[in-house]
């Protein structure tokens, strides 16, 4: 993915895609001192763009890492990158990290904080599962205790178990893995939040130890606007057997129906289709 044409914004300049490189002694590469955002641009407008930029700065603060750009500067960088590549519809990836410094070690006081904005054209995150329903494996790893790591940060270090769990899921023919949290409650997938439907009401895990996704919050708002009751609560894995519908939410995933989790089956039902279409309309409006 590195040797191709295109433009990437890096530390205030637009550089060629193939020249957007970092040194091998980059702090982030060794100690996961990196935070990022995933955003989607629809018809020339990035959905909830400023919220994503604010979350990036907050993720940096949570890692004791001050990103040397303001929300307005990040906004400008994202649109400059899209313009330089001629994209109106694309996925936008902003990343900030601690670079190579005067010395190398766990302390990063002498390492500069750097930032880049890249993008690519990305269709359905889960391929044809977007219409048919995704199959999820149950991950053997758990979302960590908030006392062990800043779980609200969209930070690289929190994705190590995501990659491992996703590989195991893919080996089993699944699209993704569903994590339980450190207490054993249902949490989220490796890059998306989860919702369930039962008796016309919606249930979603309380986001108290994982990313409270921007799409999650948007979809909760859309459901409430439709007069649907949404329960944000602790969900036991034993409850999976009783839910009728299920979907995932995320910037990349958008609203993707889930057809199966482990041995439990769900229908791609009317409410799932309705909320998926409503979300689709909103992001393009
Ligand atoms: N959880 C994780 C672990 C994620 O990576 C993402 C994608 N950013 C989400 C949830 C959904 O967040 P959002 O709706 O803000 O994209």
ipTM: 0.99
What is the number of domains present in the chain?
2
Same domain, 215 and 88: no
Which residues fall within 8 angstroms of residue 13, CB to CB, at 6 or more apart? none
Whether 214 lines ligand 1, by a CB cut-off of 6 Å, is yes
Q: Which domain holds residue 165?
A: 129-284
- The pTM for the full model equals 0.97
Q: pLDDT at position 172, please?
A: 98
Evaluate whether 125 touches 253 at the Cβ level (below 8 Å).
yes
93 CA distance to ligand 1 centroid (A)? 13
- Residues 85, 212: one domain? no
Ligand 1 contact, 216 CB (< 6 A): yes
- Closest residue by Cα to residue 266 from 278, 256, 276: 256
Is the Cβ–Cβ distance between 100 and 23 less than 8 Å?
yes
Residue 34 and residue 104 in one domain: yes
Residues 113 and 133 in one domain: no
Long-range contacts from 175-178, C-beta under 8 angstroms, 24+ separation? 175/126, 175/127, 175/129, 175/134, 175/135, 175/136, 176/126, 176/134, 176/136, 176/137, 176/248, 177/136, 177/137, 177/138, 177/139, 178/136, 178/137, 178/138, 178/139, 178/261
Q: What is the mean pLDDT of each run of 10 residues along the chain (285 residues)?
A: 94 98 98 98 98 98 98 98 98 98 94 98 92 96 98 98 98 98 98 98 98 98 98 98 98 98 97 98 96
Q: Which atom of ligand 1 is closest in space to residue 158's alpha carbon?
A: 3
Residue 128 burial (CB count, 10 A): 10
Cβ(250) – ligand 1 distance below 6 Å = yes
């Amino acid at each position: 993915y590195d040797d191709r044409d295109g433009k990437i914004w890096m530390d205030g300049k637009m550089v060629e895609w193939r020249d957007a490189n970092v040194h091998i002694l980059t702090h982030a590469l060794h100690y996961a001192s990196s935070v990022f955002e995933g955003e989607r641009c629809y018809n020339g407008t990035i959905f909830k763009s400023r919220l994503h930029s604010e979350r990036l700065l907050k993720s940096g603060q949570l890692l004791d890492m001050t990103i040397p750009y303001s929300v307005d500067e990040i906004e400008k960088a994202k649109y400059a990158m899209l313009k330089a590549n001629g994209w109106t519809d694309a996925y936008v990836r902003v990343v900030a990290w601690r670079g190579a410094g005067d010395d190398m070690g766990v302390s990063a006081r002498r390492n500069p904080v750097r930032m880049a904005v890249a993008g690519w054209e990305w269709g359905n995150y889960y391929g044809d599962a977007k219409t048919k329903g995704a199959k999820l494996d149950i991950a053997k790893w758990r979302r960590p205790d908030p006392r062990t790591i800043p779980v609200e940060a969209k930070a690289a270090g929190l994705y190590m178990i995501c990659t491992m769990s996703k590989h195991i899921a893919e080996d089993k023919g699944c699209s993704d893995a569903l994590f339980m949290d450190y207490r054993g409650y249902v949490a989220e997938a490796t890059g998306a939040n989860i919702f369930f439907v039962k008796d016309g009401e919606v249930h979603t895990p309380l986001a108290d130890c994982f990313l409270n996704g921007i799409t999650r919050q948007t979809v909760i708002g859309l459901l409430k606007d439709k007069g649907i009751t949404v329960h944000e609560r602790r969900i036991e894995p034993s409850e999976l057997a009783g839910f009728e519908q299920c979907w995932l939410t995320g910037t990349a995933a958008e609203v993707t129906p889930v057809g199966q989790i482990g041995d439990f089956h769900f229908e791609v039902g009317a409410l799932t289709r309705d909320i998926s279409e409503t979300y689709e309309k909103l992001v393009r409006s």
